[in-house]
Chain A
Amino acid sequence: MGFPLFYAALVSTQNNAQMFRLQMIPGDSFGFNLQTVLDRNIARLMFNTFAVASMVTLGKVVLSIFSGMALVYFRFPAKSLVFGFILAALMVPGEVTIIALFRLVALELGWGNTWTALIVPAVASPTGVFLFRQHFASVTPELSEAAQLDGAGPLQFLLRVLLPLSRNTVTALVVIMFIGAWNSYLWPLLIVTNPDLQVIQVGLSTLDDGVEIGRTWGPIMLGAVIASIPPIAIFVLMQKQFLQGFALTRHK
């Protein structure tokens, strides 16, 4: 299963000639490849991706917790309508609206080439709201009744009781959201053209050294390996919570 990425790691130490010779031992070009990706400012790309993905994840988690709480712990008219409004958005993949969204963000809002365009449209998350609503609904109502009897308001209840109880759900959501945000490609490709603001997924193909005819694969593969380290690390470390998160979405 892991062979393709293993091969990518191997190529990241080689030059084109070694790669096309099908050399199966590490080559001698690792230093050159590393220098190339550093010159192409991979550090900047990684930092940008980390910053954007973190802000998107944070925004999603916070908004989802509040919305999930509103849907479970409060009474208000048209609640099922509001929930339906959120659920229906869950069904629509971003690709369906991307052309109109591009027009809206770039033309009507004038956010082209900003991180705002990468972060703000992404933070309202129907998936997250759904996840937290299901989780909160599975928590026994006696807890919030007891909290009310003790005179706690909703915010106190959230901070003191609900959040400590929801650590697994929060972790699951963080893992899913962060990997999703880290790997997003199409939207930044469309809305950001300034290389200083760009994210790593779009920047990978610019890691070429531009000297050889065609692509120089060594630096690109090194970039691909570096770009894959954070999501794989998070995923492997938090596998259990991630799976629990998926189990949650299945229990309707």
Chain B
Amino acid sequence: MALGAVAGLLGSLATMIPLQYCVLDPENHMFFKLSILGGTITVNAVAILGILLVVVVAWAIALALDRLRHHWLARGGAVWKADTAPGTFIGYDFSPWIFLAPTLVGLAVFTYYPAAQNFFLGTQLARRGVEKTAFNCLDNFASLITSRLQDAHYYILSDGFVWHAENARYLAVFGNSVFFTLFIVLVANVLGLSIALLASQKIRGASVYRTLMIWPYAISGVVVGIVFAILLGGGGSGFINQVLRLFGVEPVPFLSDAWWARVSVGMAAAWNKLGFNVLIYIAALQAVPAELMEAASIDGANAWKRFLNVTIPMISPYIFFVVFLNLNYSFFDLYAVIDNLTEGGPVNATTNLVVDVIRVGVESRDIGKAAAQSIVLFMVVVGLTYVQFRVMGRRVTYGAD
């Protein structure tokens, strides 16, 4: 009966929602052509994006419902009866809400409302500084992987190659983000663990080492970008290149070659985070019981085997922790470093997803397209969070804590 009431309510609500019709016009730019092996395949961009979107959202909702159900069952079916935990203040019915109100309102207005607004703006033709918006279906999403009709027209008139380059742009930007993430996570963790292994050999002066090691973590991305700009930049007259010349090495185009620029951004960011990783790994290594290592050496395991079969499994929770922190950092927090080191160049070679959101939304004033890009970012967050839950959940089962 309750179900019927809910359905009735939903039904009446649904009729109140003004429907915006989305006509998929094949004459428009919803299709883009792929030339593979001499043949041409026409791909419906909107269909692909739409299906992806529906799948991801449905999957996220299912996951959330599942978690809620487990939670519910674990608590014996009654969610808030179980909150009669010992130590709670009795007879204060309003004060918790007053205590919570600023946080809840703040999150609702400055996190959830913009997040929801993204989904609305993603379907709108919206310009920066203009209040009015107009519905434009899924054009913003489609324009991420194919250019607009009028743009295409323009490009075909001027230069066919530019049209192709523009088509591949967003995918290239996505690729840059993935490259930075892989590079930073790999470098900062392999180096971090190696340094931690070396540093944990000696106990004397450990706190001094630690301080010397970790303070770059407190430096802002802006300073990291600027400092690496004088180290790597300046063509052949930059610091590193001058040092290399002393050894007879040809100048390296650190900031002017696409791949070197990507590596430079990766190095700068990895340097910023390295000290923190070292610190966590030192703490992790110290928590490995000495008896285990001794037992392994008595059994005849050499240093490498001990590292592989004892140390790595014992510190794996810490590895996951550090890797996920680095993952989130390198996907979302690189803006300051990139903006001050390469400004996204040369020719967008170091433009990642966040930099592109700002380029499109603020500099090109296309709020709608930037919102569509933000939704793609949001999907990445959902994916990362899901993986994190899975891995962390498994971690608990072999109980390292």
Contact B115 A92 (CB under 8 A): yes
Chain B interface bracket (under 10, 10 to 19, 20 to 34, 35 or more): 35 or more
State whether the Cβ of B49 lies closer than 8 Å to any Cβ in chain A. Answer: no
Contact B99 A89 (CB under 8 A): no
State whether the Cβ of B111 lies closer than 8 Å to any Cβ in chain A. Answer: yes
Q: Which residues of A contact B (CB under 8 A)?
A: 1-2, 4-5, 7-8, 11, 19-20, 22, 63-64, 66-67, 69-82, 85-86, 89, 91-93, 95-104, 106-107, 120-121, 123-126, 129, 140-145, 148, 153-154, 157, 179, 182-183, 185-186, 190, 201-202, 204-205, 217, 220-221, 224, 227-228, 231-232, 234-236, 239, 243, 246, 250-251
Contacts A1-B275, A74-B96, A96-B332 supplied; 9 other A-B pairs, CB < 8 Å: A5-B223, A75-B80, A75-B85, A100-B371, A124-B111, A145-B87, A154-B92, A157-B89, A228-B218
Q: Which residues of B contact A (CB under 8 A)?
A: 71, 79-80, 83-90, 92-93, 95-97, 99-100, 102-107, 109-115, 117-118, 121, 126, 128-129, 131, 210-224, 226-228, 230-231, 234, 237, 239, 242-243, 271, 274-275, 279-280, 283, 321, 328, 332-333, 335-336, 339-340, 354, 357-358, 361-362, 367, 370-371, 374, 377-378, 381, 385, 401
CA distance A63 to B104 in the complex (A): 10
Contact B97 A76 (CB under 8 A): yes
- Which residues from chain B contact A81 at a C-beta distance below 8 Å? 79
Contact A103 B95 (CB under 8 A): no
Contact B274 A190 (CB under 8 A): no
Contact A124 B227 (CB under 8 A): no
Known: A4-B271, A74-B89, A102-B362. A236 touches B215 (CB 8 A): yes
Q: List 18 A-B contacts (CB under 8 A).
A: A1-B274, A5-B223, A19-B230, A20-B237, A22-B239, A75-B88, A79-B83, A86-B104, A89-B107, A91-B381, A95-B332, A95-B357, A96-B381, A99-B357, A104-B109, A142-B86, A144-B89, A227-B223
Which residue of A67, A103, A145 contacts B367 across the interface (Cβ within 8 Å)? Answer: A103
CA distance A121 to B108 in the complex (A): 10
Which residue of B100, B231, B243, B378 contacts A92 across the interface (Cβ within 8 Å)? Answer: B378
Main secondary structure of the interface of B (DSSP, over half): helix
Known: A141-B86, A224-B226. A70 touches B381 (CB 8 A): no
Contact A96 B242 (CB under 8 A): no
- Which residues from chain B contact A179 at a C-beta distance below 8 Å? 218
